[in-house]
Amino acid sequence: MSGPYGVEQVEEIKLTVPALVTYSRVARLAVTGLASRMGFSYDEIEDLRIAVAEMCGLLLDNRTGRLTFRCLLTDDALEVEASRTPVGEPPVASDLSRQILLAVVDVFEIFPEEARVRVIKRRQD
């Protein structure tokens, strides 16, 4: 995805779904489809599927609302940011969720006051 003069271009994809467990599958499929398109390996794609499932688990709070996924594609990484509107109760990551996310992605950040979670997965060559 390099642009003119070797400058890295970033593609942005957004997906908004109802904040219901039944729609988390849509988010997983979208993100893993993007990772496949970018040339991630099977194991890396599986890691992203797990990460998106954990992100949904952190943000779903059995209320009405929406989850918005913002994916940034670069030459060697996929950044996924998920947020919930309305914000509602701040998401809290359990120790297990943190361990899972840190095992499957390169960067994991949670912004409780914004009901937002961010992960980055770099493609290994």
Residue 114 has pLDDT above 80, yes or no: yes
Residue 63 has pLDDT above 80, yes or no: no
Residue 42 has pLDDT above 70, yes or no: yes
Give the pLDDT of residue 125.
Answer: 79
- Tally of CB atoms within 10 A around 24: 20
Determine the Cα–Cα distance for residues 46 and 105; give it in Å rounded to an integer.
11
Structure tokens at 26: 């849509």
What is the pTM for the complete model shown? Answer: 0.90
Q: Where are the domains of the chain?
A: 4-122
Determine the Cα–Cα distance for residues 98 and 102; give it in Å rounded to an integer.
6
**Does domain 4-122 fall into CATH 3.30.565.10?**
yes
